[in-house]
A and B are shown apart, each in its own frame.
Chain A
Amino acid sequence: MASYQTNLFINNEFVPSSTGETFEVYNPVDDSLITNAVQVASDADVDTAVAAAKTAFKTWRKTPSTQRAAMMIRYANLLEKHLDEVAKLESICMGLPVHLAKFLLVLQVSNFRYFAGMADKIAGETYPEDGDGYFKMVNYEPLGVVAGIAAWNATQLFVGWKIAPAVAAGNTIIFKTSEKSPLAVLYLGALFKEAGFPPGVINLLSGAANTGSKMASHMDIAKISFTGSINAGRQVQIAAAKSNLKIVTLELGGKSASIIFNDANIENAVTHNSQNFLFNSAQTCSAGSRILVQEGVAAAFIEKLKAAYTQIAASMGDPALASTFMGPVADQAQFSRVMEFIDGAKAEGTEVLTGGGRQGNKGRFIQPTILLNPDKNSRVYTEEIFGPVVTVKTFKTEDEVIEMANNTVFGLAATVYTTNLTRAMRVTSQLEAGLVSVNSSHTALLQTPWGGWKESGYGREGGIHGFTEYLQTKTVHINMNAPDN
């Protein structure tokens, strides 16, 4: 068995769990065991990491921002040289095809460079005396020790969104992976150290819900940024409130609408609703999992969509191969979850246009599945599936589809396919979603913030908004009329 870094990365050292508790990771391509030695960060380990981060913060916050930036750029350059190794570790743990894993890693590299460029540009505001006798300043200062908890689907992107802005702004951080994909991040510890980050600035923990819960309730953590399910997100928020009212950012799920108007370019709509939807086996929070297609083009669109899905299904394979586009889902638990949704839909009599079952009999592969016209109260139409299952419904009018699109507790993404500019502007302005794309599936781009409305969460990652959330204001008033001594 190959050897992996399975220790926790605390204070620039790799250390085992204080309790010796470990967990196993399996490769969903064939359910084989990768390692059973991944260390679980115990409560004591979390305390140790927080203490290290707290000590490091005292110096880190005073480290000149250009030096912080230089370390971030050095790390980005190092990571670029290690893309293959890290991509492979991500892929074997949760089934993401390696070239897509590299795509996410390139996003991480870009985010480190992007936020490095922001580090020395934290500008506060000043206001003149203006009759009230006070010279006024608003300064922006880091929060302290912050925490990040990643979901398993795009871990490397979350490293870029949570660690990069945090340290650029002068915070120190403790980052926990999902138990489904710990190895790639632990590997990064060595790169952070080589890049020159002082001990305690970046700490990497592996563990599951208990570790996350300890972080969410820690009295010395100033902010926690959580990406994952809505249920777990609620627990994080409750724990934060019960402990020290730490700031909380939640990036949760979605049940995003993908709206196709009669005047859309159908080929483009098909590509984005097949290939792009099925990226990472559709295990994406922003996936456009409810297709709403206007009646005039529905038949043609659905037929082409089915052909595309069938073609992609035929090309499913080993995520380790560069030629594989779609691999398995992340693990047995995800597999069972998605299959349960599909079986439930079948039991309700929903038409399965294509797919609807396991692909092959080895590993956790699920066929790309199209469900036609499920009942609008059904589980597959209202709940997040987080797998390669899309529902398709038709609509007549613009007002109707906007209501359908917004009729969900979620509000993460929405996409609109149309060639009419005014319609695009009008419809996007009425969609209740934090992320909207026109004529494209929604993708993460460097400058724009990522985050949801309604029960998809709150707070933003990426871009300048993602940066300012790692700072807090300090208002300073100086009395200009104070008498001299």
Chain B
Amino acid sequence: MAAPTDFQTQLFLNNKYVDAKSKETLSLVNPFNGEPISAAVQVAGQEDIDLAVSYAQVAFKSGPWSTYTGAQRAVYLNKLADLIDANAHKLAALDSLCMGAPIAVAENFVVPQAAVAFRYYAGLADKIEGDSFAAEDGTYRIVRHEPLGVCAGIAPWNVPMIYVGWKIAPALAAGNTAIFKASESSPLATLYLGKLVIEAGFPPGVIQFVNGGGKTGALLASHMGIAKISFTGSTSVGKIVQKLATESNMKKVTLELGGKSAALVFEDANIPNAVAGTADGFLLNSGQMCLATSRLLVQESIATPFIEAVKARFLEAASKLGSDPLSPTTTYGPMANKAQFDRVLSYINIGKEGGALAIGGASNGNNGLFIEPTIFVNPDKNSRIYKEEIFGPVLCILTFKTEEEALELANDTNTGLSAGLYTSDLNRALRVSAKLESGNVAINSLHLPAVNVPFGGWKESGSGQELGRYGFQSYLKMKSVHIK
């Protein structure tokens, strides 16, 4: 399909598209062909963020939103979900144009998941439950759960629209107001949502969109008027967000950071299923997923044929390299931007020096930022390609003999976001999943977050969680009231 050409480029504040006071703009590039996107998206500076926060505070404290019942808030959240579904193609195309995701995936999975999140949290809006206790010692006690205030969300560029759902929906369901910043690489779909926010009938200041990169993000993380920030992105930036939050007003922080997750394939696994999960599944979004199982650990007894099968899937994906992400038949896209492209290539070069390259390893020089699906077999366990998150189509494969060894390998990382486990043995499945040091474990499939269970990382993969009731609780604060 032809690339979309009508874009919103301003900030979306208080239900209006307005010019930023800062004069900076973002330069967007289509990663498929390297061409600039003619959208001079305006960057929010200090004044703009201050304005957004004050609008959000008024909306929270005294605007109509502050008077709505949970059931009323739910009506708006459900309306926005319907509008997102109705505009899925447009939103998917805008994301696809900016960061190269195949439009079929964006339109059929990523964008609808945002609507799913809005609907899920709409259902919780009128179910905020506190506690009450009898006066055994002469004092009644109740626990109230109250919203936080103005909540900020910062999203990365890899599946942009999903974060709109994950960060805004629970915030609003709990009665907060939200300020959301998409990645500077992929702001267009998110900005378009302003139109839908108005159409859904939200009062001004309840949902606002600001644009910018690290500087704008830092303004949000350190703003004294923001009660909570939810950040998804790299571990190093996550640590900065935490620091800025603490040093300013100790705002609550949720971090969804990186991973170097392992997939364990035991000899009793269903092999075709395991290949699909660890090869095709790994290549989803060209490997640019925080939960990607980028370390494949295969039991020795099946390793040789298994690795061949994985290679074959990678070669199959490579054969389709170079298609336009905006074409509905494209399954494999480029890296999202030049910085990421350079980063992944530099890891590949490190890996090549280590001598473990099995297949791939080259960029597809014809057009755009494509990198071949790449496999390193038995890399040095101390090498950077084995220890650090690459966030691209680069898979490291190791073998193991025993279950104990597999677990030791899998857990030998300072990350803990996801894990895959392929086995047909019931007890092994329960036993090993219990011992994996990971916030999410998928047995016999690729791990995809589901809205009803919490998604969060252990160790340095993050703090707090999103999704499920747990994610909802993180947008509320407790007040204990003692009545004598």
Contact = CB atoms under 8 A, between A and B. Distances in A.
Contact of A113 (B74, B116, B124, B140): B74
Interface string A415-431: 00000011001000100
A466 to B, nearest CB: 12
A120 B450 CA distance: 11
B339 interface: no
A118 B126 CA distance: 10
A464 B127 contact: yes
B200 to A, nearest CB: 15
Given A429-B135, A478-B430, A117 B483 contact: no
Contacts of A120: 120, 123, 452
B425 interface: yes
Nearest to B124: A117
Given A117-B74, A425-B483, A478 B426 contact: yes
B126 A447 contact: yes
A484 B71 CA distance: 52
B251 interface: no
A117 B135 contact: no
Contacts of A480: 427, 430-431
A425 B116 contact: no
Contacts of A484: 425, 427
A479 B430 CA distance: 10
B127 A447 contact: yes
Contact of B71 (A113, A123, A482): A113
Contacts of B426: 478
Interface string A368-395: 0000000000000000000000000000
Contacts of B135: 425, 429
B123 A69 contact: yes
Interface string A249-291: 0000000000000000000000000000000000000000000
Interface string B57-88: 00000000000000100110010000000000
Contacts of A69: 119, 123
A116 interface: yes
Contacts of A119: 123
B33 to A, nearest CB: 38
A128 B433 CA distance: 12
Interface in B84-134: 116, 119-120, 122-127, 129, 134
A156 interface: no
Given A425-B140, A429-B135, A478-B430, A110 B71 contact: yes
A118 B71 contact: no
Contacts of B120: 120-121
Interface residues of B, number: 27
A121 B452 contact: yes
Interface in A100-150: 110, 113-114, 116-121, 123, 128-129, 135
B123 A123 contact: no
B352 interface: no
Contacts of B434: 128-129, 135
Contacts of A66: 116, 119
Contacts of A135: 430, 434
A482 B429 CA distance: 13
Nearest to A122: B452
The interface centre, meaning the residue of A117, A422, A480 with most chain B CB atoms within 10 A of its CB, is A117
Given A110-B71, A422-B484, A429-B134, A117 B127 contact: yes
A308 interface: no
Contacts of B338: none
Contact of A118 (B75, B123, B425, B484): B123
Contacts of B78: 73
Contacts of B122: 117
Interface in B419-451: 425-427, 430-431, 434
Contacts of B119: 66, 69
A446 interface: yes
Contact of A121 (B74, B124, B483): B124
Contacts of A482: 427
Nearest to A168: B123
B116 A118 contact: no
Nearest to B123: A117
B469 interface: yes
B134 A123 contact: no
Contacts of A117: 74, 122-127
Contact of A116 (B123, B140, B452, B469): B123
A129 B434 CA distance: 10
Given A117-B126, A484-B425, A123 B484 contact: no
Nearest to B433: A135
Interface of B: 71, 74-75, 78, 116, 119-120, 122-127, 129, 134-135, 140, 425-427, 430-431, 434, 452, 469, 483-484
Per CB-CB distance, the 5 closest pairs between chain A and chain B, nearest first, are: A117-B123, A135-B430, A425-B140, A480-B427, A425-B483
22 contacts: A69-B123, A73-B78, A113-B71, A117-B122, A117-B126, A117-B127, A118-B123, A118-B127, A121-B124, A121-B469, A123-B469, A129-B434, A135-B430, A422-B483, A425-B140, A425-B483, A429-B134, A429-B140, A446-B126, A464-B129, A480-B430, A482-B427
Given A116-B123, A117-B74, A425-B140, 14 more contacts: A110-B71, A113-B71, A114-B126, A117-B122, A117-B126, A118-B127, A121-B124, A123-B469, A129-B434, A422-B483, A429-B135, A446-B71, A447-B127, A464-B129
